[in-house]
């Protein structure tokens, strides 16, 4: 049984009320903006998966909460039978949509982004995922101190192969989903337990649970993200200057992009906290 022990909160906002200290903004050097390609293809179980989205933006300053959208790109995804899926931008948004995508577990796909005379590519396999079991257990004396509501959900690992997973939990008390990664090194072929607790959970709250199948490459990439965020459970972990994914600029390697081309089947289950 394993706890969600590697949690990444992509953005944490702390609202300090009742304090009178002045907020000090430190002058920071702002690096030249780089392209960010958010190419996460998620095939939700029991859906066709035909509607997919890829988003282009740039990095921004430390104190900014806006990521400038990038328009004017040509984006395609091709499978091994040379079927091409076109992602067309909703004008001015940096969001590129496809309505006829065909997800196949185990299929290999190639992403191509043409932008400003440069070509970015990445290749990845669509990874399947087990279903989240119907039974979800609730413990009203959970958490590290026994004073939080804790839920436990389960999935059956496929023992015939090495598997890698991305967990996501979303609830009304947090702004962004909380993520963690897991592999089946210690629980291969077993019914796997995943725990989640939060100090603000109360009866009636809805917890949105997602279970993604991911590749080993993405697992390693996301582990670096966890290191960069300081959530790897080691008190003196080194922090990489920048985490680069599997997307390569074939025209100019120095002008690299951030982001990752990932294809995952995902199972989703909502749980309502009980009395």
pLDDT tens for residues 159-168?
999 999 999 9
pLDDT at residue number 231: 55
Say how far apart CA 102 and CA 51 lie, in whole Å. Answer: 9
Classify residue 146 as left (phi > 0), alpha (psi -120 to 50) or beta: left
The answer to whether residues 98 and 87 touch, using CB atoms and an 8 Å cutoff, is yes
Name the β-bridge partners of 206: 272
What is the percentage of the chain residues whose pLDDT exceeds 70? 81
In the structure encoding, which two tokens stand for residue 137, read together? 């257990």
- Structural domains of the chain, with CATH: 2-12+129-231+267-272 (2.60.40), 35-127+237-264 (2.60.40)
Say how far apart CA 14 and CA 44 lie, in whole Å. Answer: 32
pLDDT tens for residues 104-120?
999 999 999 999 999 99
Phi, psi (5° rounding) for residue 229? -85, -5
Q: Which of 12-21, 60-69, 78-87 has the lowest mean pLDDT?
A: 12-21
The answer to whether residues 118 and 251 touch, using CB atoms and an 8 Å cutoff, is yes
Question: Which helix (H) or strand (E) segment is 122 a member of?
Answer: strand 118-125
Q: Reduce the DSSP state of residue 192 to 3 states and report it.
A: strand
- pTM of structure: 0.84
Rounded average pLDDT over 196-201: 92
- Alpha-carbon separation of residue 95 from 4, 46, 75, 76 (angstroms): 31, 25, 11, 13
**DSSP letters spanning the chain:** -EE--S-EESS------S--PPP-PPP-PPPPP-EEEEEEEEEETTS----EEEEEEE---TT-----B--S-EEEEE-TT--EEEEEEETTTTEEEESS----TT-EEEEEEEETTEEEEEEEEPBP-PPBPS--EEEEEESTTS-EEEEEEEEE--TTS--EEEEEEE-TTSSS-EEEEEESTTTTTSEEEEEEEETT--TT-EEEEEEEEE-HHHHHHHHHHHHHHT-SS-TT----S----S-EESS-TTS--EEEEEEEEEEEEEEEPP-
pLDDT tens for residues 245-274?
999 999 999 999 999 999 999 999 999 999
Is the model's pLDDT at 240 over the cut of 80?
no
Instruction: Count other Cβ atoms within 10 Å, centred on residue 107.
Output: 14
Say how far apart CA 168 and CA 56 lie, in whole Å. Answer: 22
């Amino acid at each position: 049984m394993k706890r969600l022990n590697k949690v990444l909160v992509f953005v944490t906002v702390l609202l300090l009320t009742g304090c009178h200290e002045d907020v000090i903004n430190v002058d920071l050097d702002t690096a030249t903006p780089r392209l960010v390609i958010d190419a996460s293809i998620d095939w939700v179980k029991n859906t066709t998966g035909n509607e997919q989205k890829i988003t282009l933006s740039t990095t921004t300053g430390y104190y900014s909460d806006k990521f400038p959208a990038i328009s004017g790109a040509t984006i395609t995804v091709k499978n091994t039978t040379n079927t091409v899926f076109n992602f067309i931008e909703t004008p001015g948004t940096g969001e590129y949509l496809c309505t006829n995508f065909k997800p196949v577990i185990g299929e290999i796909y190639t992403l191509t982004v043409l932008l400003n005379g440069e070509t970015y590519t990445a290749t990845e396999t669509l990874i399947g995922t087990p279903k989240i079991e119907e039974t979800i257990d609730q413990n009203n004396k959970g958490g590290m101190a026994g004073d939080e509501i804790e839920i436990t959900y389960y999935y059956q690992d496929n023992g015939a192969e090495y598997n890698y997973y991305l967990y996501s939990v979303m609830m009304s008390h947090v702004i962004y989903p909380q993520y963690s990664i897991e592999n089946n090194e210690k629980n291969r072929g077993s019914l796997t337990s995943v725990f989640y607790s939060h100090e603000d959970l109360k009866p009636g709250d809805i917890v949105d649970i997602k279970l993604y199948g991911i590749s080993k490459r993405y697992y390693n990439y996301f582990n670096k993200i966890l290191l960069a965020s300081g959530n790897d459970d080691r008190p003196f972990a080194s922090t990489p200057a920048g985490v680069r994914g599997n997307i390569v600029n074939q025209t100019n390697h120095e002008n690299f992009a951030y982001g990752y081309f990932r294809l995952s089947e995902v199972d989703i289950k909502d749980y309502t906290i009980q009395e």
